[in-house]
Amino acid sequence: MNNIDFLIKQQTIYTSKQKEFFKKKKLQVEIDDLPQCQVQVVTSPNQSTKYILQLQEADIKQITKSLQNQYMIEILELKECRLKTVPDEIFKMQKLRVLKLEGNFIKVAPVIDVEVLSLKNNLLLHYKAGENVKVLDLSQNKLQEFNFGHQLEELYIFANEFTILPQLPKSIKKLELDWFKYTEPPLTQIQTQPYINLLTNQSVNCIDFLKMFSKKQLQNKIIEASLAQDLGVLSSLAAIMDINILNENGDTALSLSLKTDNLFSVRHLIELGAQLELGSYAQGNILSFALENNLPTIINLIYPKLNSSLFTQDVYGNSPLHYLNKCDYDDINAKIIMKAKQLNIQMNFNIYGQSPIHLAIQKSKNWLLSNMLKHYRIEADDLFMMAARYDNLGAVMLLINNNYPVEEFSKIAICRNLKIYRVLKSYENYNIQKQLKKQMDSKNNFNYEVKLIHKKDMQSSNFLRQKKVQEDNNIDENQSQSQKSQNYIKLLRHCQRNSRKII
């Protein structure tokens, strides 16, 4: 394909993508113009009317537009709408009794005085409930502190990070708390009277709570707490029990949480000081696992604790440097290579004879290859062959720039990759011309230096000749008339002798 055909093809692709973009944009505008929701009017048998508004996966513009002038709404549900704050329009709804803001990203929420309030599955750290709230759901947040109203009847607070349960109001009748299932023997997570009465007198921390409701000695349930992401219980148990306990398969709470994608537990365990070297990983270690599964957050967490013991190999001989080829984050890859170099980690070959450089060429990850070649050099004679096999011209140029020997053109020609073969032949011819030019330059410099020396010798000889003549003239001027005559007579006699010898 020549350059003109290539440009025409690229222009066609660009035009088609542009048309598709504007087509989607037009469709989106048409959708936005349509009403996104309708208020449901429900009439109960006793002739009372309820106004219900439900929105799911709506953006803030749609929500604001939908909530305008909706003063009659009694039940409002905004689920998974990516809200970061509570919309101001909610506080203008004087008849609102039930509010559900579940599955959003709310970190800070003001006091909302409704009868039923659900802020489940958000990012709350602190919360103070209104005095009139009767049913409160704060489950699956990051709560560390919270307060209740005096009319609270039902409370749901499982899967949070608090380690101290504040004193409950005496009006409470139902409590859902994950702490109950870690007692010995385990209790159900939802409890009513008479257990709740024991919690209405004073606040209690997690360990005292477990001892209060246990009939046996507490067991190490750190693995169970990490898999359930009950972070408050996890922090409490880690203070009095071994956080690195192994199960029958050789896994720790950290390794199991990582394998089951419980990343909040993983972060918490690392912050609590879990040992990174322990655990059973098919990849050989936690670093290789995180690289293969593209977990940059986990890699950044364990990076300050990296040491040579975390660069172990799996059963196939692959080290974390091999697994860099499966990570899509260039900044992470660069950090790991630098750390490996600082720890003096050598680049090894796996059981298939492949180094991380081979895999980078094979996967056409040339930025990673460039970084590896900058810090490592391996003894291998098949790098150009692999680049030709996978049609990786960029790898060829990187290998040339890093002074890897270019040899065995016949084998590369057998691969039938004419493009790379021509590049290598051109590079060979370029090197030959470069050497010839260097030799010619050195020869020209030598000739120039010889001419310069000859010129300087001529100048010095002329200078000496002129100086001698000048000295002779000075001598002649200083001689007297008698001395000049004697010298003249000596010169004549000398000439006569020479003429006799010649004869």
Same domain for 86 and 133, yes or no, is no
Long-range contacts of 140-145 (CB under 8 A, 24+ apart): 142/231
Q: How confident is the model at residue 202 (pLDDT cuts 50, 70, 90)?
A: confident
Tokens of 442: 């050195």
Task: For 249-307, write each residue's pLDDT tens digit.
Answer: 999 999 999 999 998 999 999 999 999 999 989 999 999 999 999 999 999 999 999 99
User: In which residue are the tokens 């994608």 written?
Assistant: 261
Q: Which amino acid is at 268?
A: H
Q: Average pLDDT for residues 55-60, to the nearest whole number?
A: 72
Tokens of 274: 């879990």
Q: Average pLDDT for residues 107-122, to the nearest whole number?
A: 91
Residue 314 lies in a domain: no
Residue 66 lies in a domain: yes
Same domain for 133 and 206, yes or no, is yes
Buried b (16+ CB within 10 A) or exposed e, 305-329: ebeeebbebbeeebbbbbbbbebeb
Residue 271 lies in a domain: no
Same domain for 46 and 134, yes or no, is no
pLDDT for 414 beyond 50: no
Tokens of 342: 């600082």
Same domain for 38 and 101, yes or no, is yes
Q: Average pLDDT for residues 128-149, to the nearest whole number?
A: 90
Q: Is 19 helix (H, G, I), strand (E, B) or coil?
A: helix
pLDDT at 92: 84
Q: How confident is the model at residue 503 (pLDDT cuts 50, 70, 90)?
A: very low
Q: Average pLDDT for residues 38-62, to the nearest whole number?
A: 63
Residue 281 lies in a domain: no
- Comparing 456 with 458, the larger pLDDT belongs to 458
Burial class (CB in 10 A: 0-12, 13-18, 19+), 380: middle
Q: How far apart, in Å, are the Cα atoms of 106 and each of 58, 82, 188, 281?
A: 15, 8, 29, 36
pLDDT for 336 beyond 90: yes
Q: Of 85, 96, 168, whose CA–CA distance to 119 is shortest?
A: 85
Q: Average pLDDT for residues 156-174, to the nearest whole number?
A: 92
Q: Work out the angle between the directed axes of helices 231-240 and 263-271 (0-180°, nearest 10).
A: 30
Q: How confident is the model at residue 102 (pLDDT cuts 50, 70, 90)?
A: very high
Q: Kindly report the CA angle at 440 between 438 and 446, in degrees rounded to 5?
A: 105
Rounded-to-integer distance, Cα 75 and Cα 91, Å: 13
CB 137 within 8 A of CB 118: yes
Whether the full predicted model's pTM is greater than 0.85, yes or no, is no
Looking only at the bridges linking them, the beta strands covering 116-118 and 135-137 are: parallel
pLDDT at 276: 93
Domain that holds residue 165: 120-219
pLDDT for 5 beyond 70: no
pLDDT at 112: 86
Task: For 425-445, write each residue's pLDDT tens digit.
Answer: 666 665 655 665 665 555 556
Rounded-to-integer distance, Cα 85 and Cα 106, Å: 5
Q: How confident is the model at residue 36 (pLDDT cuts 50, 70, 90)?
A: very low
Q: Kindly report the CA angle at 124 between 123 and 130, in degrees rounded to 5?
A: 145
Q: What is the percentage of the chain residues whose pLDDT exceeds 70?
A: 69
Q: Average pLDDT for residues 469-473, to the nearest whole number?
A: 59
pLDDT at 411: 52
pLDDT at 130: 85
Residue 137 lies in a domain: yes
Q: How confident is the model at residue 456 (pLDDT cuts 50, 70, 90)?
A: low
- Please give the tally of structural domains in the chain: 2
Q: What is the DSSP string of 325-342?
A: GG---HHHHHHHHHHHHH
pLDDT at 358: 94
Length of the chain: 503
Same domain for 96 and 150, yes or no, is no
Same domain for 144 and 198, yes or no, is yes
Residue 97 lies in a domain: yes
Same domain for 161 and 184, yes or no, is yes
Same domain for 81 and 149, yes or no, is no
Rounded-to-integer distance, Cα 161 and Cα 255, Å: 21
Task: For 206-216, write each residue's pLDDT tens digit.
Answer: 999 999 999 99
Rounded-to-integer distance, Cα 289 and Cα 98, Å: 45
Q: How confident is the model at residue 82 (pLDDT cuts 50, 70, 90)?
A: confident
Tokens of 223: 């693995």
- Comparing 414 with 242, the larger pLDDT belongs to 242
Q: Please, which residues have CB within 8 angstroms of residue 48's CB and are 6 or more apart in sequence?
A: none
CB 294 within 8 A of CB 303: no
Residue 242 lies in a domain: no
Range with lowest mean pLDDT among 27-41, 236-250, 359-373, 379-393: 27-41
Q: Of 413, 406, 411, whose CA–CA distance to 430 is shortest?
A: 406
Residue 149 lies in a domain: yes
**Average pLDDT of every residue of the chain:** 79
CB 344 within 8 A of CB 335: no
Q: How confident is the model at residue 460 (pLDDT cuts 50, 70, 90)?
A: low
Q: Which amino acid is at 32?
A: D
pLDDT at 47: 43
- Comparing 200 with 410, the larger pLDDT belongs to 200
pLDDT at 490: 62
Same domain for 88 and 169, yes or no, is no
Same domain for 162 and 93, yes or no, is no
Same domain for 133 and 208, yes or no, is yes
